[in-house]
Chain A
Amino acid sequence: MGRRAGFLLPGLPQLLRGRVLGGGFALFLWLGLLTLAVTRFDRVRGALLGDLDDWIALLTLAMVLGGVWLWSFRAGRRSMVTGRGSGEGSPGALGQGWRAFRRNRMALLGLGTICLFYLAMLLTPFLAPFEPEFREAYEVGGDMTRRLAAPSSVHLMGTDEFSQDILSRILYGSRISLTIGLLAVGISVTLGTFLGAIAGYWGGLVDTAIMRLVDMVMAFPRLVLLIVIVALFPTTIFIVIVALAFTQWPSTARMVRGEILALKEREFCEAARALGFSRGRILFRHLLPNALGPLIVVATLGIGNTIVLEAGLSFLGLGVQAGTPSWGSMVSDGRDYLMDAWWVATFPGFAIVLAVLAFNLVGDGLRDALDPRQSEGARR
């Protein structure tokens, strides 16, 4: 029964076995995407001849539809055999963390929201009802009442001063916010981990030099340093990402250094030294993997923080170039029409809040699941 159900509808075998959350999400995702593909079939077919964005969207659609179906089918079959859900064998530290994480409903909700956000970002060409630059009122025979139009069935979130559809612009704007957040945090975490680990492990003069630099950068309110860097250099998306990364790595470095200092004194590190392993091997193979938990937490919370900061930069008109839709600049556009058209500023702001909230929920959940200090504190 379970096997056939998995073949027919993904998520159904999980639902039948009482795993409401995973099964429900899979079913919802699969049916939603299928509906999208059917209702906008023309657009999807046209994407075959489209640009890179169209191809990415097409690929995402195919892979998620196929992937969800395959996962559900195989997980359903496996649970038939073992009589249990997935996750057998003895899990490592991260595996245990995932088990703890899975029990946290709010964190799972956050994770689901993040997945939906990124999925919507990739599928934007199919999802968005209009092009981001489409100015309906200014077309031939255009209707000027379409400017600042209230939310309706045509424009679900209304239109802005140029009669551009807000929902479409939010979808297209998600590329800026979500990508920059991920890239900047990726760079800063890599850099911060590397420098922090070296400072903590080598000590001495190297430690002093790196940590004084950390102190200096951290002495600035992050936004102030950001606007100075971004405004004085020619504004490109590259500069924004570098500036965001440059202002964030010190906090990661400080955290990693602390972790390494504590781990250095533990027996397993002593054992590795006694075995005559090289410093690099001890640091990267033995010490850093043990600092991975707090690092993941810091990175997740950092993405949320970075999205807010990038939105702030765009709001000040210092982010990516004007014209490119981004959530922060859309809020800024709505500032002058707050009384006449509240929807222009409100909806992009909701997008920011939702995305950041999701990352913070996941970060909190990960901290509860992974951070040993936290759980030690709870046990005490």
Chain B
Amino acid sequence: MLSFSLRRTLLAIPLLLGVATLVFFVLSLAPGDAASIYLRPGMTPETLEHIRRSMGLDDPLLIRYGRWLLAFLQGDFGYSHFYQMPVRDRILAALPNTLILASGALFFAFLIGILVGVLQAVKEGSFLDSVLSGVTLFFYSMPSFWLALMLILFFSLSAMKLWNWPFSFPVSGIQSPGADLLAPWDQFRDRIHHLVLPTLTLTLILAGGVARYVRTSMLDVIRQDYIRTARAKGLPETRVIMKHGLRNGLIPVVTLFGVYFPFLLSGTVLIEYVFAWPGMGQLMVESILRKDLPVVLAGTFLFGGMVVLGNLLADLLYGVVDPRIRQSDG
């Protein structure tokens, strides 16, 4: 197991380097450069040229790449001219918010997805199965940003103004204004309140896909000989499903974690934008619109890095739950 993990981890390192390289070269293909931030009316071309030279932008591409990579490896992500602070600090402020949102959604999506998928597989061909298939496909086909708006419409605006529900969820930001003054417990409740709608949106979007996958995987297992054997020796059906079916049916679901991680991060970008959630996605979108390239560069790499690490984690987990993988890997 140790050598398996070690080998997989080592394989991820060149991939991370490749990801950084790809980001750098894609961004250097774009017209315009970082010096244009300093462009002011009435500025002579010579002044701009001087700024470019002082920023090292007129060096050959490869030299700039080398310099950037070297700094990058030492943890220096550059300086954001918009925020007037090092990119690393800005990103470290945004990252936890994204991780809270993403991990919550991931947990609930897999919980709901697995429950629904297993239920469908057990009741294959029934009315319930068809209905759930329709519902999961519906959510699977839905654009996340639209679902977010619809949830806002129902659970925040209408709930408050039309239907006089006793509750309505906040639709923007991570906490209410002035929440810092509240008692710790109320502050915590306020945070949870703000988490509800973004997490719900992401969960619904993801759970549909998970359920579809789990259903297929479980159906595959249920048709296996050892399930027939388990039934034949007179085990109660719940025991057959829970003990013999579930254990094998959920093995491929671990790989799904790796597959869905980039999907989840894509989702967070839009959801954070809709809910004004101060995370990595919102930071990326805003920085791109402002052409704040150092932040875009580091942010894109970070997203890539998160996916690589997520895949690595899924690989390692797969090795844990399915010993055959470790064996065949040498």
Contact = CB atoms under 8 A, between A and B. Distances in A.
A158 interface: no
Interface string B296-311: 1001100110011001
B146 A219 contact: no
A312 B30 CA distance: 22
Contacts of B303: 220-221, 224
Contacts of A222: 262, 266
Interface of A: 212, 215-225, 227-229, 231-234, 304, 308, 311-312, 315-318, 328, 331, 334-335, 338-339, 342, 345-346, 349, 352-353, 356-357, 360-361, 364, 377-378, 380
Contacts of A338: 149, 152-153, 157
A353 B143 CA distance: 7
Contacts of A335: 149, 274
B99 interface: no
B22 A216 contact: yes
26 contacts: A212-B15, A215-B18, A218-B262, A219-B18, A219-B262, A221-B265, A221-B269, A221-B303, A224-B269, A227-B269, A228-B288, A232-B27, A233-B30, A315-B270, A316-B273, A331-B149, A334-B149, A338-B149, A338-B157, A349-B143, A352-B146, A356-B142, A356-B143, A357-B141, A360-B137, A360-B140
> Chain B, interface size: which category?
35 or more
B16 to A, nearest CB: 8
Interface of B: 15, 18-19, 21-22, 26-27, 30-32, 137-138, 140-146, 149-150, 152-153, 157, 161, 219-220, 223-224, 262-266, 269-270, 273-274, 284-285, 288-289, 291, 296, 299-300, 303-304, 307-308, 311
A125 to B, nearest CB: 27
A68 to B, nearest CB: 28
Contacts of B274: 335
Given A215-B15, A220-B304, A316-B285, 12 more contacts: A215-B18, A219-B311, A220-B303, A220-B307, A224-B284, A228-B26, A228-B27, A229-B26, A232-B296, A311-B145, A315-B145, A345-B153
Report which residue of B219, B263, B304 has the largest number of chain A beta carbons within 10 angstroms of its beta carbon: B304
Contact of A311 (B15, B143, B288, B308): B143
Interface of B is mostly: helix
A56 B140 CA distance: 34
B173 to A, nearest CB: 16
B152 A221 contact: no
A365 B1 CA distance: 40
Nearest first, the 4 closest Cβ-Cβ pairs linking A and B are A232-B30, A349-B146, A223-B266, A221-B265
A218 B263 CA distance: 11
Contact of A220 (B144, B152, B262, B289): B262
Contacts of B266: 221-224
Given A219-B307, A228-B288, A356 B141 contact: yes
Contacts of B149: 331, 334-335, 338, 345, 349
Given A221-B265, A308-B143, A233 B19 contact: no
A220 B144 CA distance: 18
Contact of A357 (B30, B138, B269, B296): B138
Given A233-B31, A345-B146, A227 B18 contact: no
Contacts of B219: 378
